[in-house]
Structure 1
Amino acid sequence: MKKLTIALCYILLTTAAISTSINSYAVTCGGSITTAETLTEDLNCTTNFAFSIVGPSGSLNMNGFTVTCPLTANNGIVLGGFFARISSGTVENCNNSITLTGDGSHQVVDVDIVNPTSTALFVRSDHNFISGVQIQSNVPDSNFGIRIEDNDFNQVFGNTVDGMDNVGVQIEGSSNSVSGNIITNTSDTNGSGVGISIEPPGSSNIVTSNIIDQSAGEGILTFESDSNLISQNVVTNSLTGIAIDNADSNTVTINSVSDNTDYGIYIEDANASGNNILSNSSLNNGSFDLYSPDDPSCTANTWLGNTFVTSDPSCLN
């Protein structure tokens, strides 16, 4: 009986050790998570990528713990496959902190990203959902808070981005939704920086109900990107509130744009046409509340029902 008891104890201890080894391996630096895992400790990852999470079965509850890249040139966490998930923790000091690749439909929820050295959240796939992410940077030359690189149908909802040098949220794809975010203190050493930027090949994106404050450049910029909706945003204390540059058929409506250094709403290029600037409040901006100097007859674009005091040309409405 004693020998049987000892044998049973050995089997139980061996089983526990194997189980611990499997769980530890699943969440170790350089590994790949393919099942539902929960982080049980902080990780300092010196590998080029901290680890990957591969869907549809791979997910990670960070459980309040932190993944750190002590070598700031290294990248953080990569979500691949289809429908990988990460939530509830912190990623710190990584180059590209979280990257969404593969077939997309990934979820990033309630994650803090601290001091990314390049891009905090790099979206390189379609149909992803990003919500409750808080990005805070005190690192010079940190490029993008959230960057959607030529990908479509992503939802960026209810996030906070503070202190990025280049762009808070950059959209380079189509049919993406960026709404309910707070973006502050976007500024680099050259005095530029954009809160939300829509860049080519961006089109048919929705940018709505965001709060943008203290961008060294434009609060919201649409550059060479057509047919986007910019609505119900609040833009304050930036160089220019909302700018359209060489872009057509965009709708800018029901935004509140105030206390910006140069211009409230600005159409910058003579080639910009078919844009609709409707029912916005643009007040107390430094040079002009409404500004479209390359369209002196006010015929290339439609300006209607806006609340403002100063404009150039005077036919803007």
Structure 2
Amino acid sequence: VEQQRILGNTAPSIYDLRNLFQVNVEEGRHLWAMVYLLHAYFGREGREEAEQLLKRNSGDLDAPRILGAFNEATTDWLQFFMFTYFTDRDGKYQLGTLKESAFDPLARTCQFMLKEEAHHMFVGVTGVQRTVERTAELMAEHQTRDILAYGGIPLDIIQKYLNFQYSVSLDLFGSEQSTNAGNYYTAGLKGRWMEPRRRDDHVLIGATREMSYVEDGELRTRTVPLLNALNLDLRDEYAADCAAGVKRWNQVLEAAGVTERLILPHEGFNRKVGVYAGHHVSPTGEVLDEATWAARVADWLPGDADRAAVASLMVPEYEYGKFAGWIAPPRTGINDQPVEFDYVHLLEEGLA
């Protein structure tokens, strides 16, 4: 909510404004749900921790949010759509492990929160898809990749935003090897994604898996205990799910006759947490030295000029049924209502 609070000023449509409000309301309710559990079941320590939640603020220099992705500025609606696709999808997978918890109040709460996360991810996948659709239309119409002058977001900038949000969302899964994650699992505080569908003994004694890492400037793999690699197990499930959305966006490009494609960057790209932290890995998985990374990073991550270019297109459109020029309208409205439905009632200028 803190990150997205200014987006109403530049909403591309009333339809999108309504979706933003629902996301914010539900995110606020998620905070309430977690604070309720702390107050109801954890005594004084729970109350003190709940108070600390209110003292931390996104991007605050003295008391920032604990997780890095929640301190990044949501500068525009493309960033918002990428956030709701990639970062809320992390929420889906974290909640999916906690709904398996033996602590029943937590399990039941997370099961309910998952239903609301589904809407947030819908906003993300369709928001990016509609942006890509409009970009493809303008590329085909003007026979150029540089569509900024025609009111569209160039595909290379969309790719940079994708690279950024995917990489900071991967960091939310924590270190690939984690004793804490193994202890939580063993104690029954959390499970794995789709735990009932797993065909192992759910104890994981002796179970192993492969893990990639960087050594001597090369990507290598080693075998690690699965019990200590549960964060990596969850991250792999997440990455496969993210790839499905990118495939959907690429189908839009293909249908429009555009030859370029969006990609998910390598898992080691732009990482600040885990085995890739401190290393430079390109989106295609090439380990780079500091100088090469510095020379090429502007091609892969959005810079100030890219964000300023996108911001220049963020002109609000508040007429019912109308949409800003950089995004395509949705196929259908919300709750079987028409796209031009008055989802949000705006006060006339001058009224309090």
TM-score (norm 2): 0.20
Name the larger-Rg structure: 1
Which structure has the highest helix share of the two? Answer: 2
Which fold has the larger relative contact order, with Cα–Cα distance below 8 Å and residues 6 or more apart in sequence?
Answer: 2
TM-score (norm 1): 0.22
Which structure has the highest strand share of the two? Answer: 1
